[in-house]
Copies of this chain bind each other. A is one copy, B any other.
Amino acid sequence: MVQYASAHLDASFAALSDATRRGVLEQLGRTNASITDLAEKFHMTLTGMKKHVVVLEQAGLVTTEKVGRVRTCRLGLGALKAEAAWMESYRQLWSARFEALDDVIEDLKLKERQVERTE
């Protein structure tokens, strides 16, 4: 059965709830970047961006590696996989209810006449 209690889901959804962090994910999807790169791109102090990167890293959405003085950030290998999987499993669980409702709406839209149906 689907589990809703998961510290990992807590962490990754929380990580995704901030627009700056979603922006960082998008950026890293284009190309890897240092903390300095990201801080400049998002008009933020180095320290501030570092915190965001830590949050993304703890959520498993990003991995980093420090070489010399530079810490390079890249997209986590399985980024969004667990989260997307959680969502899909729920949408499938709920599909019966959703589809029933979708049908009603579809009928209303297409036929432009009244549909009587109760749950």
Interface residues of A (CB under 8 A from B): 2, 4-6, 9-11, 13-14, 16-19, 22-23, 25-26, 29, 75, 77, 79-81, 83-84, 87-88, 90-91, 93-94, 97-98, 101
Contact = CB atoms under 8 A, between A and B. Distances in A.
A13 to B, nearest CB: 4
Copies in the complex: 2
Given A75-B97, A80-B87, A84-B87, A4 B25 contact: yes
A29 B93 contact: yes
A16 B13 contact: yes
B80 A29 contact: no
A70 to B, nearest CB: 17
Contacts of A5: 19, 22-23
